[in-house]
């Protein structure tokens, strides 16, 4: 669909909805939200927030946050190489996957309890009442972890009515099997309970052609239990415990471009396969097939307990939320995504324990002033390890890379080097050697916050909010290396060879070096320059160090162990004016700021920053016991600001919310994949200007129309460099020269985003039913910087539908998602250890099924 067609559809349907509000029948239901930590109607709350009630979740078969993006245009969820690696993105801002040191810029809260890592929030929805998505920085009320927005999931409280519940079974394609159940009711007059759970299983839809096994299956379960105690007429205590587990084979990776290294992997000396295997040509990502030497296994276990206390003192309400959470994850996958045995193990283990405490007091005396004061405490320990072992194919692969035009000569590279260094034959790149990192991060943070609403006049309310946050992190990073080649210092090795040649075989000892250096004009090993064709060496030809060309092959270079800490503090604020034009129409104008503290690079790619002064050699110098690699060790705090104008209107049959905004994040923390590892860095400034429109219409008593549209104009404001795409020769060849991204459009963020849903209810005798259809559109966008748009762009046109009826406590539902078989890429990236090749994650194909539910009890 053309961009103008999608925009025109949004405008046309909105006008249609507005033109039928005079129809007779029941009106729109009123939606209550807690976006500002006190109950308000959706139309009254002066915040850009989207709300999805339980009825929509059930009818549209929205089981996870990932499914939610199909009806909320400003939300995007990207699942990457494992179930644990998921990014939540609002208005184009978000991060957090692939590095346990990073907390997402989009905070996820379930019943007010923060989930610090995305893996703690990707399970199936169980017993959910509604989902609120708050757009823009929310740090004033939600602390440091909401610089881009908040996803707030609210579950259903236990009921004091008679015991009731339901049992639900779903069968779908790919052998899908889902079972859910819930029971709730009173224990006595002051105590009620609820227990809910689900099991979700499905076969994979992505085929590993190496052994005909299936990838991208579903195998997860969730359970939540609650107790609700009315301790007195004005004191309520709610205890919530939950446990969940994901144990899945995920996620399949498609070849987007099989570059020049592919021929080596598929050659007889490595013996691997790449699908479809055609060199220097685009792949077939939507065949959803790959060759892999092992299945990607990932397991996530989450558990938690929270105690919520609400004490109503009339004009004041006291609230306390105490929570303790535990997350354990274990995933291992084929890091090169081919069947060539380049690696045997890439195992990641994590243990994250989090404790939080929130106190707040709200005041509402019925006068001109309302307020909120609170304090929040966060304490977390992250234990993370990653072990990579190379396979039997890596030595031949690396050997040929040293001389791809003459593989036979390349195969002599490492035996010759081993002989020169006095190492046993087969030492370099020996199978099942590698390294392992062990990291610990202890975090402690507290936030003091307050917000005041003052009615300047009957129709004008001014709101001011402020929060002070302090965050301290202690880091410990250790590494053990058994892979010898990556530990070699070729600056020193090359210098020793050159020194011996110049001095008649003398060793480069301090005494020999001192006697010779003055007359040779040679300062030290760092003065030896690399041999670059067409480039002059220094001091002269004999001092050219050809060994430096082997550095790119150091796939698992060692890291200097370190311990460090950060201590950040920041004051954020909200200032807003809201004006009520009538009972049906109001508007607000405000500015809000957000903040996220320093993030540490806990991945295996954590490296010291390059020195401010000139390095001792073009590649870093020889002062350390091995060749130092510079990179990124941390990303400094990011600061968000949004200026927003909103208009909200609600009539009996029609409601519309419009937000126009200019949002920016300074020093946005990015975690970019470079083909061999992740680089955590500050991306300068990223801005997004846009407009969001949400409408709900009750056209007739049974016909409802929901339309949401967002226009996003994202742009870099930074001098950061990325790899440039040579559009003239794309997709076969990529330029290596970096380009400045200042003023460039941010990859992965579609300008036009539309969601349109229509529901028709009906009743025949004692049978009630509905028909529902929804459509999601995202305009064409390049999924990642520095990758050919011909192989990595994405446009979304997805159609979902469902139909159901209810009678005598039974519900029957037939549903389908992506019924039109829309194909698009979730993300693209440079292939691991394969320069010039690119890989990507295709979306989920068509799914459909039948759901039967039996309700019991209740009134």
Give the C-alpha separation, 28 to 48, whole Å. Answer: 19
Give the C-alpha separation, 238 to 159, whole Å. Answer: 12
pLDDT, tens digit, 9 for 90 and up, residues 163-189: 999 999 999 999 999 999 999 999 999
Give the C-alpha separation, 191 to 188, whole Å. Answer: 5
**137 near 594, Cβ under 8 Å?**
yes
Q: What angle do CA 55, 124, 212 make, to 5 degrees?
A: 125
**596 near 638, Cβ under 8 Å?**
yes
Q: What is the DSSP letter of 251?
A: -
Strands 106-110 and 149-155: parallel
pLDDT, tens digit, 9 for 90 and up, residues 493-509: 766 666 666 666 766 66
- For residue 597, give the nearest of 572, 574, 570, 573 by alpha carbon: 570
For tokens 């399949």, what's the residue? Answer: 252
Q: What angle do CA 510, 515, 516 make, to 5 degrees?
A: 100
Rounded to 5 degrees, φ, ψ at 48 are: -75, 105
**43 near 578, Cβ under 8 Å?**
no
What tokens does 241 get? Answer: 């415990």
Helix, strand, coil shares, percent, the chain, to 5: 15, 50, 40
| 32 Cβ contact partners less than 8 Å away, ≥ 6 residues apart | 39, 40, 41, 42
Strands 721-723 and 738-740: antiparallel
Neighbours of 554 (CB within 10 A): 19
Helix (H) or strand (E) holding 407: helix 407-410
- For residue 222, give the nearest of 250, 242, 192 by alpha carbon: 242
Q: What is the pLDDT of residue 785?
A: 74
- For residue 694, give the nearest of 241, 169, 31 by alpha carbon: 31
**451 near 462, Cβ under 8 Å?**
no
| 616 Cβ contact partners less than 8 Å away, ≥ 6 residues apart | 524, 526, 622, 623
| 535 Cβ contact partners less than 8 Å away, ≥ 6 residues apart | none
Rounded to 5 degrees, φ, ψ at 67 are: -65, -25
| 124 Cβ contact partners less than 8 Å away, ≥ 6 residues apart | 63, 64, 198, 200, 220, 222
Q: What is the pLDDT of residue 65?
A: 80
**Which positions of the chain have pLDDT values less than 70?**
1-26, 83-84, 96-97, 144, 491-492, 494-504, 506-546, 610-629, 674-677, 718-745, 859
Spell 824-834 as b/e; 16+ CB within 10 A means b: bbbbbbbbbbb
Q: What is the pLDDT of residue 254?
A: 93
Rounded to 5 degrees, φ, ψ at 541 are: -45, -50
- Helix axis angle for 510-520 and 490-502, nearest 10°, is 70
What tokens does 537 get? Answer: 């060496």
What tokens does 466 get? Answer: 């402020």
What tokens does 422 get? Answer: 């006095």
Alpha helices of 80-181 — where are they, by DSSP H? 139-142
Give the C-alpha separation, 488 to 626, whole Å. Answer: 6
- DSSP string for residues in 713-742: EEEEES--EEEPP-TTTTTT----SEEE-T
- DSSP string for residues in 255-313: EEE--TTHHHHTSTTT----SS--TTSB--GGG-EE--SS--EEEEEEEEEEEEEEEE-
Rounded to 5 degrees, φ, ψ at 313 are: -110, 30
Is 0.85 surpassed by the pTM of this model? Answer: yes
Q: What is the pLDDT of residue 614?
A: 38
Give the C-alpha separation, 46 to 857, whole Å. Answer: 39
**334 near 294, Cβ under 8 Å?**
yes
- For residue 357, give the nearest of 302, 309, 320 by alpha carbon: 320
3-state SS class at 858? coil
**95 near 138, Cβ under 8 Å?**
no
For tokens 């709200």, what's the residue? Answer: 362
Q: What is the DSSP letter of 196?
A: E
Neighbours of 232 (CB within 10 A): 10
First to last CA, the chain: 47
Give the C-alpha separation, 169 to 176, whole Å. Answer: 10
For tokens 């910087």, what's the residue? Answer: 785
Torsion of CA 724, 728, 729, 731, to 10 degrees: 70
| 784 Cβ contact partners less than 8 Å away, ≥ 6 residues apart | 747, 748, 792, 827, 828, 829
Rounded to 5 degrees, φ, ψ at 693 are: -130, 130
What tokens does 717 get? Answer: 């404001």
3-state SS class at 546? helix
For tokens 């009890």, what's the residue? Answer: 857
Query: Does the bond joining 591 to the residue before it have cis omega, within 30 degrees of 0?
Result: no
Alpha carbon 774 to its chain's center: 25
Strands 235-249 and 218-232: antiparallel
Rg of the chain on CA atoms, in Å: 29
Give the C-alpha separation, 502 to 538, whole Å. Answer: 15
Q: What is the pLDDT of residue 60?
A: 84
């Amino acid at each position: 669909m053309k961009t103008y067609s999608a925009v025109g559809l949004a405008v046309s349907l909105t006008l249609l909805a507005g033109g039928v509000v005079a129809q007779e029948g029941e009106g729109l239901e009123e939606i209550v939200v807690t976006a500002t930590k006190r109950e308000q109607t959706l139309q009254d709350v002066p915040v850009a927030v989207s709300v999805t009630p339980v009825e929509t979740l059930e009818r549209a078969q929205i089981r996870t946050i990932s499914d939610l993006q199909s009806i909320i245009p400003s939300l995007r969820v990207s699942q990457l190489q494992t179930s644990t690696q998921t990014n939540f993105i609002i208005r184009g801002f978000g991060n957090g996957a692939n590095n346990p040191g990073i907390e997402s810029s989009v905070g996820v809260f379930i019943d007010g309890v923060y989930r610090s890592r995305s893996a703690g929030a990707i399970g199936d929805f169980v017993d959910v009442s509604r989902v609120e998505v708050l757009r823009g920085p929310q740090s004033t009320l939600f602390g440091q972890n909401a610089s881009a927005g908040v996803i707030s999931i609210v579950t259903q409280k236990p009921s004091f009515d008679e015991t009731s519940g339901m049992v639900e079974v779903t069968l779908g394609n790919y052998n899908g099997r889902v079972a859910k159940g819930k029971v709730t009711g009173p224990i006595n007059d002051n105590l009620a309970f609820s227990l809910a759970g689900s099991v979700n299983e499905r076969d994979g839809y992505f085929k590993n052609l190496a052994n005909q096994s299936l990838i991208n299956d579903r195998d997860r379960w969730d359970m939540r239990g609650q107790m609700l105690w009315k301790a007195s007429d004005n004191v309520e205590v709610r205890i919530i415990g939950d446990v969940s587990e994901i144990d899945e084979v995920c996620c399949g990776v498609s070849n987007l471009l099989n570059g020049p290294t592919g021929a080596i992997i598929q050659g007889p000396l490595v013996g691997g396969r790449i699908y479809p295997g055609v060199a220097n040509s685009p792949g077939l990502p939507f065949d959803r097939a790959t060759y892999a030497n092992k299945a990607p296994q990932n397991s996530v276990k989450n558990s938690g307990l929270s105690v919520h206390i609400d004490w109503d003192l009339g004009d004041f309400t006291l609230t306390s939320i105490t929570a303790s959470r535990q997350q354990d994850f274990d995933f291992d996958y084929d890091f090169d995504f081919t069947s060539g045995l380049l690696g045997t193990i890439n195992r990641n283990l994590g243990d994250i324990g989090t404790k939080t405490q929130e106190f707040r007091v709200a005041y509402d005396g019925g006068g001109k002033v309302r307020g909120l004061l609170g304090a929040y405490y966060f304490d977390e320990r992250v234990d993370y390890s990653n072990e990579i072992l190379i396979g039997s194919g890596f030595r031949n692969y690396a050997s040929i890379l040293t001389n791809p035009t003459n593989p036979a000569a390349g195969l002599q590279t490492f035996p010759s080097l081993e002989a020169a260094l006095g190492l046993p034959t087969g030492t370099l790149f020996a199978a099942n050697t590698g390294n392992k990192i062990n990291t610990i991060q202890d975090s402690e943070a507290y936030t003091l916050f307050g917000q005041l609403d003052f009615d300047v006049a009957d129709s004008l309310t001014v709101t001011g909010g402020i929060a002070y946050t302090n965050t301290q992190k202690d880091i410990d990073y250790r590494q053990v290396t058994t892979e010898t080649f990556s530990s070699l210092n070729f600056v020193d090795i090359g210098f020793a060879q050159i020194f011996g040649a110049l001095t008649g075989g003398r060793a480069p000892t301090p005494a020999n070096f001192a006697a010779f250096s003055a007359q040779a004009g040679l300062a030290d090993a760092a003065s030896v320059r690399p041999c670059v064709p067409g480039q002059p060496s220094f001091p002269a030809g004999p001092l050219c160090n050809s060994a430096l060309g082997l550095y790119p092959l150091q796939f698992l270079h060692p890291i200097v162990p370190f311990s460090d800490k950060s201590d950040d503090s920041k004051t954020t604020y909200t200032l807003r004016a809201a004006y009520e034009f009538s009972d049906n129409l109001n508007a607000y104008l405000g500015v809000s700021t957000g903040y996220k503290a320093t993030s540490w690079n806990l991945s295996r790619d954590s490296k010291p920053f390059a020195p401010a002064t000139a390095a001792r050699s073009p590649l870093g110098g020889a002062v350390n016991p091995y060749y130092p690699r510079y990179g990124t060790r941390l990303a400094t705090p990011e600061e968000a600001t949004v200026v927003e104008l909103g208009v909200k209107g609600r009539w009996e049959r029609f409601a519309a919310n419009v937000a126009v905004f200019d949002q920016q994040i300074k020093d946005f923390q990015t975690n970019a994949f470079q083909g061999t590892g992740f680089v955590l860095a500050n991306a300068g400034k990223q801005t997004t200007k846009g407009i969001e429109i949400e409408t709900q219409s009750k056209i007739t008593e049974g016909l409802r129309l929901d339309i949401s549209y967002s226009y996003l104009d994202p742009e870099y404001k930074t001098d950061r460099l990325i790899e440039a795409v040579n559009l003239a020769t794309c997709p076969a060849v990529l330029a290596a020269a970096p380009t400045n991204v200042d003023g460039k459009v941010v990859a992965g963020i579609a300008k036009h985003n539309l969601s349109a849903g229509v529901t028709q209810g009906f009743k025949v005798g004692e049978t009630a039913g509905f028909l529902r259809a929804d459509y999601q559109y995202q305009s064409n966008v390049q999924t990642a910087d520095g990758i050919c748009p011909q192989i990595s762009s994405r446009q979304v046109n997805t159609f979902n539908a469902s139909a159901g009826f209810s009678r005598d406590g039974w519900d029957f539902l037939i549903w389908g998602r992506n019924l039109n078989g829309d194909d698009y890429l979730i993300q693209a990236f440079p292939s691991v250890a394969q320069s010039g090749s690119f890989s990507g994650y295709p979306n989920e194909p068509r799914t459909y099924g039948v759901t039967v539910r039996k309700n019991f009890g209740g009134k």
